[in-house]
Amino acid sequence: MARLVFFLILVASICITTITATPAVEKDCLHQCANHIGECGKQIFNKLFTSNKIVISTDCCYKLFQTGSYCHTKMTLFILQTHKKYKKEEWLQFLFKGDEIFHKCDLVTRPENPNFFATCINELGSRCGEEVFNSIVNENNISKKCCGKLVKMDEKCHINMTKALIRTPEMRNIDAIEFLEKNKMIFDNCKIAD
């Protein structure tokens, strides 16, 4: 526990030094983080800085995870530094709470165990996986063969593969919930066609 506290203090001091050293670059970074988290920022702020019994929605958990721990910590530190209300507060409690929020969102959005996930990937295969991905992103058609494989591996596998894909940095700018809905629609359409 002492090592974790020391680590957090070290990270906080490095971040503070970075913020004060390069204000223009830092402001741009914070602006990008805030833009990405969007409206979900309100839920996360309330969970982090108020005593309200806020439950962060699954949508916002995906957004938070896509935004990343770095941005989440940077925005937390920025609020602690700039809002008069928090300047005299004990920052570690907020940093711990921020980590706890990020961890809970990680658990909510995480696919099932790696072995199950690997089995799903093997069942679908890379060619069909690429076809399904292109169907979602580029709205291409999926062949009957790949639709059959998708349905055979079952919806649970499909959802887990989708969750894993959403969590990659390359998917940072997609709307996670819209992406999940598109995937469900693709699975349902394949089920009807099969």
Q: Are residues 91 and 119 in the same domain?
A: no
Q: What is the pLDDT of residues 29-77, one digit of tens each?
A: 788 888 888 889 999 999 999 888 889 998 889 889 888 899 899 999 9
In this prediction the pTM is 0.71
| Spatial distance between the Cα atoms of 91 and 87, rounded to a whole number of angstroms | 8
Domain span holding position 82:
2-109
What pLDDT, on the 0 to 100 scale, is given for residue 161?
87
Q: Are residues 118 and 105 in the same domain?
A: no
Q: How many domains does the chain have?
A: 2
Q: Are residues 105 and 119 in the same domain?
A: no
Mean pLDDT, residues 99-119: 88
Neighbours of 107 (CB within 10 A): 8
Q: What is the pLDDT of residues 125-162, one digit of tens each?
A: 999 989 988 888 888 889 999 999 999 988 888 888 88
What pLDDT, on the 0 to 100 scale, is given for residue 87?
74
Query: What tokens appear for 146 in the block?
Result: 């790949």
Among candidate residues 173, 158, 175, 162, the one with its CA nearest the CA of residue 60: 175
| Spatial distance between the Cα atoms of 100 and 56, rounded to a whole number of angstroms | 12
What pLDDT, on the 0 to 100 scale, is given for residue 23?
65
3-state SS of the chain: helix, strand, coil percent to 5? 80, 0, 20
